[in-house]
Amino acid sequence: MVIARHGKPDLFITMTCNPRWPEIIDNLGPHQKWENRPDLVCRVFHAKLLELMDDLTQKQIFGVVKNYHYVIEFQKRGLPHAHIVLTMQTDDKVLDVETVDAIVQAYIPDKNTQRILYGLVRDFHVHAPCGQLNMFAKCMMNGQCKKFYPKPYRTHTSLHMGGNKRPEYKRPDDSRTIYVDANRCRVTNRRIVPYNAYLLSKYQCHINIEVVGSLYTMKYLHKYIQKGSDSITLRIGDGNNDGNTRAHSQPTTELQKTPIETLVIDEIKNYQDYRYVSAMEAMWRILEFRMHDRSHSVLVLPVHLPGDRTIMFDELEEANNIEARLQSRSKLEAYFELNSHDVVARTYLYHEIPQHYTWNYKECKWQSRRQVSKQIGCMIDVSPLPGQMELFFFRLLLSRIKGATTYDDLKKIDDDGTTTDTFEEACRRKNYIRRTDEFERAMREAVLKQHPRKMRKLFALYCCITIDEGFTEYNAIWHQFCEYMIDDFVNLKRLSYQRAEEKAFKEINEILKRNRSNLSMAALGIRSIHDNNRSDAAFNRVPDIDNNINCDRHYDYGVDL
């Protein structure tokens, strides 16, 4: 939601704790190591993190920050690190090569004129030798480095705005090298991890800074920083039979003189999934430090039909309290009431109200804000499934019409007050669901925030909805967004593009048949990209999402499933 309102992020920063910070080393007892003092490590890192956030948001070393979001994670060996996402104001957004070069460096500094920075880059920003130099490095996967090191030399920075690539930073072939003692080898600019000279010199730890090059990359970042906690799988056994039991059955023929031994395997007993909590993470939580923080909060706005509210209550709660809750107004009903007496409120859409009004939980009403808003409204998702189609169309009207004071106001189709019987009819009469670009806009919004599996489901359900409206551009929509809908098959399951597309075809066909038995991808005229004699390289053509979406405007045409 923040991205839909404020645009794509500009910077992604990762700060990792340095166990050799003087604040840690100077306070260790005799014969102690940093792993013996998780309380000390957590306190020092927390203080450094707050100082870094102050530099970024208050001192504005890179410009005015429009919003930020960070999460804390812990390495397997225990050290904490923070992932920070920054979105800059319009005047300070990172859009050109000169700005990128001023913020990010990916080359070895001069050893004679920048001796301190040279040593810090050597200690914290050299990617360990991999590939032909070390095929057993941790970053290796299928014979290649997951981080794509060593990078090629570049005389200047190149931005791939709108493409499915990260910016390629300046890495000149200037013959500068750094000798890494741990690996006993020299490295060039091809193995330098991007850094910022000021932050690296001040905090003296690993601070990787990356420029977010495209909206496609942004979706990956937000999934990455919110991937959840670590877990481990334990195998449980008694040491004798490895947790399995052996059952004996009687022989069925005279030839079988001894009982048949059958091995009974109980996978649930043998393997259990547990959450992994290191000593550092445990201490971090004991000290009650934040695991994440953000500049803006999101207020979920209910969407319901008249007399169809959802009320949550405890079965042991008193009946009077439940009755009082039933009599109170929902946020939606209070929105209608607000529009009836507040002229200014009528200029905002329902999901824009939290930016200008606060919700009074005690009195169940909207009140004008007195301070700058850092809250964003988000209507609950409604799927176009059988049984809730009317609610789906009601939400569509609510996202487009301002100033409604009653449910019937959303059904008005003429200035003279003519209303329809249903919300679906109102959408059709207003031409909200007959536009040929509606399908494409819904898919473009899903590209920004949805998992490929949900995009496939959205594609299938939109086919079911639009088939009765004479829509015929299914094949063009499929080819435009196919790469995003098969991304999980290609990158997670390591399938070829052709095999991934086949699996996507099969899954979407199943969804189509569940909703409308006579529909299929073939019946809609959708052809595989490979059927058109196009190679896997055709998937490298990425739709120019950045240039076709105005992120400062909240598009609510699609639906999240």
- Which range in 136-145, 147-156, 202-211, 444-453 is most confidently predicted, on average pLDDT? 202-211
Q: Tokens 């909060």 identify what position?
A: 297
At residue 347, the pLDDT reads 94
At residue 255, the pLDDT reads 41
- Which range in 178-192, 263-277, 439-453 is most confidently predicted, on average pLDDT? 178-192
At residue 102, the pLDDT reads 93
> Measuring CA to CA, which residue among 161, 165, 134 is closest to residue 149?
134
At residue 437, the pLDDT reads 66
* pLDDT exceeds 50 at position 399: yes
* pLDDT exceeds 80 at position 267: no
* pLDDT exceeds 80 at position 11: yes
Q: Report the pLDDT averaged over residues 174-190.
A: 84
Q: Report the pLDDT averaged over residues 536-551.
A: 40
* pLDDT exceeds 50 at position 554: no
At residue 561, the pLDDT reads 26
Give the least confident one: 60-74, 229-243, 266-280. Answer: 229-243
Largest separation between any pair of C-alpha atoms in the chain: 94
* pLDDT exceeds 50 at position 248: no
More confident residue, 331 or 181: 331
At residue 522, the pLDDT reads 87
Confidence of residue 271 (pLDDT cuts 50, 70, 90): low
Q: Tokens 């039909």 identify what position?
A: 305
Confidence of residue 556 (pLDDT cuts 50, 70, 90): very low
483 phi and psi, to 5 degrees?
A: -60, -40
Residue spans per domain, the chain? 2-225, 231-275, 297-429, 438-548
Q: Give dist(CA 130, CA 135) in Å, integer.
A: 6
Confidence of residue 150 (pLDDT cuts 50, 70, 90): confident
pLDDT tens for each residue of 55-107 = 999 999 999 999 998 999 888 778 999 999 999 998 999 888 999 999 999 99
How many CB atoms lie under 10 A from the CB of residue 560? 16
Given a contact cutoff of 8 angstroms between Cβ atoms, the answer to whether 160 and 168 are in contact is yes
How many CB atoms lie under 10 A from the CB of residue 226? 11
* pLDDT exceeds 80 at position 151: yes
Supply the pTM of this predicted model.
Answer: 0.72
> Measuring CA to CA, which residue among 358, 353, 449 is closest to residue 4?
449
More confident residue, 237 or 393: 393
DSSP 145: E
* pLDDT exceeds 60 at position 499: yes
* pLDDT exceeds 90 at position 243: no
At residue 219, the pLDDT reads 59
Confidence of residue 270 (pLDDT cuts 50, 70, 90): low
Please state the three-class secondary structure of 128-141 as a single string.
CCCCCCCCCCCCEE
At residue 227, the pLDDT reads 63
Q: Give dist(CA 420, CA 413) in Å, integer.
A: 7
At residue 62, the pLDDT reads 94
Q: Tokens 């109200």 identify what position?
A: 353
At residue 548, the pLDDT reads 37
